[in-house]
Amino acid sequence: MNKKIKIQEIFNEINNLSPVQHTPIVIKNIKLHIRKMKLNQPFETSFARMDMLPKIFIEITFATKNGKEITGIGESPFLPAPWYDGEHLSGGHAILEEFIVPSLKNNVKPITNANDFIACYKWVVGGNIAKVGAEGAYWDFLGKLLKKPVWKLWNGTQKKVECGTSIGLEKTDSEVIEKIRISLSKKIKRIKIKIKPGRDITLVQSIRKEFPNIPLQVDGNAAYDLQNPKHVEMLRKLDKFNLLMIEQPGPNDDIYFHSRLSTKIKTSICLDESILHLRHAYEAVELWNKNKILDRLIINIKPPRVGGFWEAVKIAKFCEKVGVKVWCGGMIESALGKAANVHLSTLSGFVLPADHVSFPEYFKKDIAKSLEYKNGCLIAPNKSGWGVERIKL
């Protein structure tokens, strides 16, 4: 399939997308809350087995000209070590405390939309997970100011959001299968499992033996060497299992060799780690389109990985226009971050189930109540802002 699409024109249009305009606001106060949240059960990927997720919750109080003060909260969902994207708690804390927070506090330019807010710290290179916490506080505030849920500020349309779950690696295949069974009993819409070299083909084979028809996908988290023919051959062997996609098998910062891999296998390739902003999505679309296999590209959009919700909205709209399917990935966020991801998933470009839930719930003790999961779906809240109440930081 090689549709004649004007990628540059679409990119320009989306890149200039205007966020909601509002009355000028000033930043009154910023508080950072560090929390180390224990998981109910360990989560293992190709890079590590985790039992705790460290987070920074960012509370920003804004004031309008008439002196009305409103506080919003955002989440920076770090991992315990720089396994996934180079960020971690102490580094992220330093970026927030030394650079992002002062840049916001010392800002003298008027803030009348999301771009003005983001412009305060846009000069910081990287620090995407740190940045998303600040922007999350802004959107929560803006929703409260305008008395609307955030998803309406983004013109989301799918109030009912389909959920999948991400199941980690375990010592034995039967342990993974048991976890899948539990999720299926909760009517989950699709299963994603983690794989790595040596824990891939036979694992998927035993899952398919047990569940021949479930919607199933795999995530390699950068564990495969796409320039190694043996690794490419392993991935090619997955073709016979009717998987929805293979997520980020190759290096974190690679798009090109993923596109080459995609010419050699039928299963769609989904990019996660290597898409850090809208321009990366453009690069991927152009490469797959040149190879006439654009229908085999999928993009996982995570606000923390792309440094903010507005960037995530733009990538979703861009992909929708060029005809690339997207879904909302997770970073094992708290109930607050997961709710924010549900708001994002209401955009019409999100056509595949997201990583929004876990059975049992992710954390021993969460900072708020999770949105109510029912029959494989979550409903985007009607309340103002993120719509998450009784947050205990």
Tell me the catalytic residues. 194, 302
Q: Which residues pair with 26 in a beta bridge?
A: 63
Binding track over 272-291 against Mg ion, x by CB under 5 A = x-------------------
Binding track over 310-339 against ligand OSB, x by CB under 6 A = -------------------xxxx-------
Indicate whether 166 belongs to the interface with ligand OSB (CB under 6 A): yes
Q: How far is CA 97 from CA 134, 138, 184, in A?
A: 11, 17, 43
- Angle subtended by helix axes 309-322 and 278-290, to nearest 10: 20
With CB under 5 A as the contact rule, which of the stretches 233-241, 269-277, 317-325, 341-349 interacts with Mg ion?
269-277
Q: Compute the distance between CA of residue 130 and CA of residue 123 in angstroms, rounded to an integer.
A: 13
Distance of closest approach, residue 166 Cβ to ligand OSB, in angstroms = 4
Q: Compute the distance between CA of residue 389 and CA of residue 143 in angstroms, rounded to an integer.
A: 14
In the region spanning residues 192 to 251, those forming contacts with ligand OSB, defined by CB under 6 A, are 219, 221
Q: Is residue 172 packed enough to be buried (19+ CB in 10 Å), middle (13-18) or exposed (0-12)?
A: exposed
Q: Compute the distance between CA of residue 139 and CA of residue 386 in angstroms, rounded to an integer.
A: 8
Query: Is the CB of 140 or the CB of 272 nearer to ligand OSB?
Result: 272
With CB under 5 A as the contact rule, which of the stretches 91-99, 108-116, 143-151, 265-273 interacts with Mg ion?
265-273
In the region spanning residues 230 to 259, those forming contacts with Mg ion, defined by CB under 5 A, are 247
Distance of closest approach, residue 338 Cβ to ligand OSB, in angstroms = 8
Distance of closest approach, residue 238 Cβ to ligand OSB, in angstroms = 17
Indicate whether 219 belongs to the interface with Mg ion (CB under 5 A): yes
Distance of closest approach, residue 376 Cβ to ligand OSB, in angstroms = 15
Helical H segments across the chain, by residue range: 7-15, 89-94, 101-105, 114-119, 128-146, 150-153, 173-185, 201-210, 229-237, 256-264, 278-290, 309-322, 335-345
Indicate whether 344 belongs to the interface with ligand OSB (CB under 6 A): no
Query: Is the CB of 11 or the CB of 350 nearer to Mg ion?
Result: 350
Q: How far is CA 377 from CA 10, 177, 181, 187, in A?
A: 31, 22, 18, 9
In the region spanning residues 76 to 115, those forming contacts with ligand OSB, defined by CB under 6 A, are 84
What is the four-CA torsion angle of 52, 53, 59, 60, rounded to 10 degrees? 160
Q: Compute the distance between CA of residue 68 and CA of residue 63 in angstroms, rounded to an integer.
A: 5
**Which residue of the chain is nearest Mg ion when measured via CB?**
272
Contacts to ligand OSB by CB under 6 A: 84, 166, 219, 221, 272, 329-332, 355, 358
Contacts to Mg ion by CB under 5 A: 219, 247, 272
